[in-house]
Amino acid sequence: MRESPCFARCRPDMPPAWIFLVAMTDKELMRRAIALARRGSCGAHPNPIVGAVLAKKGRIIAEAWHACFGGPHAEAAALRKAGGRARGADLYVTLEPCSTHGKTPPCTEAIKAAGAARVFIGASDPNPCHSCRGGEILRAAGIQVKTGLLRRECEALNPAFAKYMRTRLPYVTLKTAQSLDGRIADAAGRSRWISSPQSRRFAHKLRAEADAVIAGVGTVLADDPLLNVRGFKVPRQPWVVILDSRLRIPPKARVFKNDRVIVAVVGKAPAAAVKRLPAHAEVLELPKDRDGRPSLPALLKALGSIGISHILVEGGGKVAGSFISQGLVDRYCCIIAPMVIGGTDSKSSVVWPDRLNAARKTLGVQAEVKDIRRLGPDLMLEVIFK
């Protein structure tokens, strides 16, 4: 599959004309930087999304965001746009500027060279290479630095980056698209088009924001999905990971049209079965959990070790159930379509063995609602588990 060029924009990047005319407060300028940061959500990961605004007397003179992994950092891009006008300007940046050479030169050096007068920082960098050093370096150069402006909002931009920096484990987003009665298919397996075009677009945005998309082999056998990003420009399609204990995946499955595919199996995979798979498919041999399925903690560790910082779990019900019941979901986006499937043998969006419920003192796993959104006729509930 061909890779799209590195124009990782989800929205057009022309700012409205008024933005350069109105004098804004410090918080308003940081809010603008936060809005800009979000434009990088399809392309920057596994690096953080970051927005930057340069202003003089509260009026914006340049703005930018980190659009693409490996590309220019937000503050460096804003400084470049401003050129000589950056001298004496105020910089508002959602994440502490970096201070070492990575894929790009340190932003602290660019800020010093440009002659910015003041730097307003939102969140400190969870990356231990930079954490808190950026502010100190700038202060030592005589630049006024204010940290923690809209800190919580700025920190909330990068939950996956923060978790990955802390633990080297990927952040887990679970997505289900289900009926009002929590079903994803009827007893005959009919599942297509439960959710609306708007919901499907949302689901592709979630894929675009992840480094890997995960599904069980049951979903592959039932629907033969592609599991790639469509409708959003991404610098690189996410990895596709199929949980397939006994290597049942058909070699002609459409997921193999993706460049980067991992089939996660239990124990040693038979050489003959591996040979039948397309050459680019990677087989990941994992220990088994108590239900004989690939161990999910081991899977997360393996994916983290190859730089995957954010995974999107797309089902089916048993996969969703395993992630939730093992306490491995960081965020659950539940899309609910206004329909009832009913029946007795219809498939539920979340399935786990009844013995797990029997072993619980209280009913169910409690969650807290973080966001509710309309997606055309559907509803999206974003929750985190307590």
DSSP track, 135-176: HHHHHHTT-EEEE-TTHHHHHTT-HHHHHHHHHSS-EEEEEE
DSSP track, 251-310: TT-GGGGSSSEEEEEESSPPHHHHHHS-TT-EEEEE-B-TTSSBPHHHHHHHHHHTT--E
Compute the least distance from the CB of residue 43 to ligand AOF, in Å: 10
Q: Give the nearer residue to ligand AOF in terms of CB position, either 114 or 341.
A: 114
The CA distance from 265 to 263, in Å, is 6
Q: Give the nearer residue to Zn ion in terms of CB position, either 128 or 197.
A: 128
Q: Give the nearer residue to ligand AOF in terms of CB position, either 67 or 255.
A: 67
Give me the sign of the Cα torsion angle 249, 264, 199, 205. negative
Count the residues of the shown chain that bind ligand AOF, applying the rule CB under 6 A: 17
Asked if 347 is part of the footprint of ligand AOF (rule: CB under 6 A), the reply reads no
Burial of 80 (0-12, 13-18, 19+ CB in 10 A): middle
The CA distance from 68 to 309, in Å, is 15
Compute the least distance from the CB of residue 235 to ligand AOF, in Å: 13
The CA distance from 148 to 135, in Å, is 11
Asked if 103 is part of the footprint of ligand AOF (rule: CB under 6 A), the reply reads yes
Asked if 349 is part of the footprint of ligand AOF (rule: CB under 6 A), the reply reads no
* Terminal alpha carbon distance of the chain: 40
Annotation says 75 is catalytic: yes
User: Which listed residue (75, 96, 209, 314) is catalytic?
Assistant: 75
Q: How many CA atoms lie within 13 A of 366 on its CB side?
A: 6
Binding-site partner at residue 360 among Zn ion, ligand AOF, none, CB < 5 to 8 Å by type: none
Residue 162 in contact with residue 128, Cβ under 8 Å? no
Q: Give the nearer residue to ligand AOF in terms of CB position, either 110 or 334.
A: 110
Asked if 166 is part of the footprint of ligand AOF (rule: CB under 6 A), the reply reads no
**Residue of the chain from 4, 104, 198, 326 that contacts ligand AOF (CB under 6 A):** 104
Compute the least distance from the CB of residue 169 to ligand AOF, in Å: 16
Q: Which of 132, 166, 170, 154 is nearest to 45 (CA)?
A: 170
Q: Give the nearer residue to Zn ion in terms of CB position, either 107 or 177.
A: 107
Q: What is the DSSP letter of 29?
A: H
Binding-site partner at residue 125 among Zn ion, ligand AOF, none, CB < 5 to 8 Å by type: ligand AOF
Q: At what angle do helices 107-114 and 74-82 cross, to 10 degrees?
A: 20
Residues in contact with ligand AOF, shown as a per-residue x/- string from 3 to 42 under the rule CB under 6 A: ----------------------------------------
Peptide bond into 70 cis (omega under 30): no
Q: Give the nearer residue to ligand AOF in terms of CB position, either 104 or 326.
A: 104
* 307: its two tokens: 């730089």
Compute the least distance from the CB of residue 139 to Zn ion, in Å: 17
Compute the least distance from the CB of residue 90 to Zn ion, in Å: 18
Q: Give the nearer residue to ligand AOF in terms of CB position, either 158 or 228.
A: 158
Residues 6+ apart with CB under 8 A from 226: 254, 255, 257, 258
Binding-site partner at residue 131 among Zn ion, ligand AOF, none, CB < 5 to 8 Å by type: none
Q: Given the rule CB under 5 A, which residues bind Zn ion?
A: 73, 98, 107
CB-based burial, 92-121: b 16+ in 10 Å, e otherwise: bbbbbbbbeeeebebbbbbbbebebebbbb
Furthest-apart CA pair in the chain: how many Å?
70
Residues in contact with ligand AOF, shown as a per-residue x/- string from 123 to 162 under the rule CB under 6 A: --x-x--x--------------------------------
**Residue of the chain from 24, 30, 34, 95 that contacts ligand AOF (CB under 6 A):** 95
Asked if 50 is part of the footprint of ligand AOF (rule: CB under 6 A), the reply reads yes
**Residues at the contact surface with ligand AOF, assessed by CB under 6 A:** 44, 47-48, 50, 66, 73-74, 95, 97-98, 102-104, 107, 125, 127, 130
* Residues labelled as active-site residues: 75
